[in-house]
Each structure stands twice: as C-alpha cells, then as structure tokens.
Amino acid sequence: MAGLYKSDYENPVIRWIDTRLPIFSLMQKEYGTFPTPRNFNYFWNFGALALVTLVIMMATGIFLAMNYSPNTGLAFDSVQRIMRDVNYGWLLRYTHQNGASMFFMVVYIHIFRGFYYGSYKYPRELLWMIGVVILLLMMATAFMGYVLPWGQMSYWGATVITNLFSAIPVIGQTVVTWLWGGFSVDNPTLNRFFSLHYLLPFVLFGVVFLHVVALHITGSNNPLGIEVKTPQDTLPFHPYYTIKDSVGLCVFLIVFAVFVFFVPHTLGDPNNFIPANPLQTPADIVPEWYFLPFYAILRSVPNKLGGVTLMFASILVLFVLPWLDTSPVRSARFRPLYRPFIFVLVLSLFALGAVGAHKPEGLWVVLGRVCTAYYFLHFLVILPVLGVLERPLPLPESISRPVLGPPGGGGPMPAGAAAKPMEKS
C-alpha cells in the first residue's frame, strides 16, 4: 500500500515531512498524548534521569576523546593536560567521572523501584530483561573507561578484572591473553578498551531504545501495581509527566553539580593520581563504589572458579527474576511479607558494599558470606516460597479509585485537572 501517511498537522512544512516520515505524529503519540498511569510517585523519574545521564556521559566523553591519547606512554599525561590546559577540561572530566557514579546511583534506584513495585512481572518480563542487559553494558563501559586515565587503579583494576576470566577451566589463560592482546595489560589492551569504551555507549543507546519501545507496548507499571483499566486511570504524558520529570531532573542536576563542583574526588580513589606501574600493585585495591557489592561476593568464596561464578550469577539471576517471583501481586504495598524481605535484601547489598570496601579479615569475611548467602536465598528460595505462603492485602478496584476517592487515597490531583485531559482525548 504505497502512499502518504495521514497526518493531522496543519503547518505545511511539518505536514510535508510528517506525511512522508511520521516522526512528529510518532513523538506526539509516544510522548505527547501517551496515556500514563496517573498515580506515579517520584520513583518513576529515574528512567528519564538515566537517559539524561547517558546523554551527558556521551557528550562529555566525546569532547574528552578530542584531547585524550590512548597510548600507555601518553594517556596519563593527556588526562592531566585535560585537567590543566584544555579550556573547561576539568569540568568535562569531573562531569564524566562523577557522571559514571551518578549513572549507577540512578540506575540502582531505578532497579530498586522495579523490585519494590514488581515491575518485572507479566507482561513486562522482556522489558526487565532488556534492563539487565543495559546494566551489564553499563558495567563493561564503566570498567573500560576507568582504565583509560592509566593510573595505578586503572592498571590494576584492568589486570584483576581481566584475570577473572582465567578462572574458566582449560581455556581460561588463552581467553585472558586474547583479551589483553599480549602477555600483560599493556598498550594493545589500552587501545582496544578505548575503542570499545567509545562504542559501547552507542550500543547502550540502541538497547535503551528497545527498552523504551517495549515499555510503550506494555505501558508503565505504577505504585499500586494494578493494570490501567479505564482512561480515568491515566494522564497524557505531556504536560503532566514532562513537568514531573523536569522537577526531578532539577533536583538531580543539583546533586550532580554538588559532586562535580565541591567534592569531585570523594567517590574516586587517590591511587589513580599515580601513573600506572606494572611492577607495583597498590597496597589496597578497591573498585569504584558501584562495583563493591559484586566484588564482595567474589571474595566471599574461598575458591577461584566459585567466586567468579557466583559474582556473575548474582547479576544473571536477575534475568530469571520474573519467573522466580511466584506471587501474582506486583506492588510491595499489598505484600506484607515481601515488603520486609526486600528491605533486608537492600540492607544486605549495602552491607556487601561495606564488606567490599574493607580488607577481607575477621568479621568482614563472615559478614560477606552471610550477605552473599542471603542474596541468593532471597531470589532462589524466599521469592518462590513467598508467592505461595503470603496472603496479599486486598487490591484497590482501580487506579483512579484510591487516587480520586476520599478515603485512603490522599490524591493530590484536583478533580478539575483530572477531568480536563479526558475532554481533549
């Protein structure tokens, strides 16, 4: 069926484009009138914040790359030159460096939102799994980026992480040599890490696009975890959620700016001010904060292959989470048992973070093992069993009921504002 798309736009230029490539109609449908549950809380800001952070990372990264040299002899000094000589180079680098932390902070909260409100359940399983792919890509990108400034932590972080693959039976060492392009982390390694660090964010961007496409098929979950039933349950995305996202964005950018302008080194490691030295490992090797819990899991197992396996498993288990949780109720609000358990999980992740930051001695070892065990227990035993044992609280009839109806609602929306968009659509 050849022919033009039927566009509603009056403006002749927009109409000319829209009838041939309905990009304006598409944006209007997906971001303008897109029906969105009316009861979002601020947890629903974090997806948009993550997208903004990804764009900030790509912008600062591309401009850093204009002055960065991916060569072992030049890398460290080229980063120092960015800090001292390049106009606003310090700003670009501090934004990129702290931006990585902000990115993980935002994405971790985004994931917690998914845990708490059961966003991974039917019909959003694939949406969730694409999210886990995003997390893995982010980790790979951040790891390779951290190698680029070629400080002591860059070098030894690269050595330790690539050596994880040596735990693979039989072919381990061959794989590691292949990753390095040599017999230690050296210039070929730095070159390929730079190339991939440039590439992966764009792959990430593509996967984020798929994430959003999947989201727009199933529609968003919401704090009550019940499906949208009538148009009264929704609001058009614009202006209601563009504004709500903007408010969250302003707060987020203030937090971001405080780190960049006042405490740019708080989240970093002072050892990375020392140029890489392949002959001397720093006294205490610690990854960036966002990797600490996984690092703690790795060290909690007194067996090389076991530790590595468990560390990867701790993320891979998220892929099957939609099928491990057997409860049909999504939101933790209506799950009296799940709710305390999910907080214990968060607590154990914080504890694992602390364990990862300390030398594996005495109580830290014990704590690490207990928390690692709990982490897997939560997903593999507690969740499947809870779905059977738990008696959920009664679910509200619809989203608009508890929001608009007086008792138990606390609905912030005046009736007038609620009625208006309905007239339009």
Partner 1 sequence: MAEPLAAATTAQHGQPDIVSKRDFLKLVTISGAAIGAGAFAWPFIASMNPSRDVLALSSVEVDLTPVQAGQGITVVWRGKPIFVRHRTEAEIKEAVDTPLQAMIEPVPDADRVKPGHAQWIVVIGICTHLGCVPLGNKPTDPRGDYGGWFCPCHGSQYDTAGRVRHGPAPLNLFLPPYAFESDTKIRIG
Residues serving a catalytic function are 216, 220, 244-245, 288
Q: Is 57 a binder of ligand HEM (CB under 6 A)? A: yes
Which stretches of 85-236 are DSSP H helices?
89-117, 125-147, 152-163, 172-180, 187-218
Written as one string, the DSSP assignment of 158-194 is: HHHHHHGGGGSTTTHHHHHHHHHTSSSS-HHHHHHHH
Q: Is 85 a binder of partner 1 (CB under 8 A)? A: yes
Interface residue with ligand HEM among 37, 114, 131, 145 (CB under 6 A) is 145
| Least spacing, CB of residue 296 vs ligand HEM, in Å | 20
Cβ contacts of 193-196, under 8 Å, gap ≥ 24: 193/70, 193/144, 193/147, 193/148, 193/158, 194/68, 194/70, 194/144, 194/148, 195/70, 196/140, 196/144
Q: Is 68 a binder of ligand HEM (CB under 6 A)? A: yes
Is the separation of the CB atoms in 97 and 289 below 8 Å? Answer: no
Q: Which does 97 bind (CB under 5 to 8 A by kind): ligand HEM, partner 1, none?
A: ligand HEM
Per-position x/- string for 73-92, each x denoting binding to ligand HEM as judged by CB under 6 A, each - no binding = ------x-------------
Of 37 and 145, CB closest to ligand HEM: 145
Q: Is 372 a binder of ligand HEM (CB under 6 A)? A: no
Whole-angstrom distance, CA of residue 223 vs CA of residue 136: 26
Whole-angstrom distance, CA of residue 147 vs CA of residue 269: 13
Interface residue with partner 1 among 74, 83, 91, 317 (CB under 8 A) is 91
| Least spacing, CB of residue 268 vs partner 1, in Å | 20
Which letter does DSSP use for residue 42 in this model?
G
Interface residue with ligand HEM among 25, 48, 52, 61 (CB under 6 A) is 61
Stretch 212-251 residues interacting with partner 1 (CB under 8 A): 246
Q: Is 88 a binder of partner 1 (CB under 8 A)? A: yes
Task: Spell out a b/e string for 363-391, using b for 16 or more CB atoms within 10 Å of the CB, else e.
Answer: ebbebbbebbebbeebbeebbeebbeebe
| Least spacing, CB of residue 350 vs ligand HEM, in Å | 21
Of 77 and 397, CB closest to partner 1: 77
Q: At what angle do helices 152-163 and 125-147 cross, to 10 degrees?
A: 130
Whole-angstrom distance, CA of residue 300 vs CA of residue 315: 16
| Least spacing, CB of residue 66 vs partner 1, in Å | 7
Interface residue with ligand HEM among 48, 52, 161, 204 (CB under 6 A) is 204
| Least spacing, CB of residue 139 vs ligand HEM, in Å | 9
Of 51 and 320, CB closest to partner 1: 51
Q: Is 87 a binder of partner 1 (CB under 8 A)? A: yes
Interface residue with partner 1 among 15, 81, 304, 369 (CB under 8 A) is 81
Q: Is 394 exposed, middle or buried (0-12, 13-18, 19+ CB in 10 A)?
A: exposed
Of 93 and 335, CB closest to partner 1: 93
Q: Candidates 60-68, 150-158, 261-269, 366-374 — which segment interacts with partner 1 by CB under 8 A? A: 60-68
Which helix (H) or strand (E) covers residue 234, if one does? strand 234-236
Contacts for 271 with CB less than 8 Å, ≥ 6 apart: 151, 152, 153, 282
Whole-angstrom distance, CA of residue 108 vs CA of residue 88: 30
Positions touching ligand HEM (CB under 6 A) are 54, 57-58, 61-62, 64-65, 68, 79, 93, 96-97, 100, 103, 138, 141-142, 145-146, 148-149, 197-198, 201, 204, 272
Q: Which residues bind partner 1 (CB under 8 A)?
A: 59, 63, 66-67, 81, 84-89, 91-92, 246
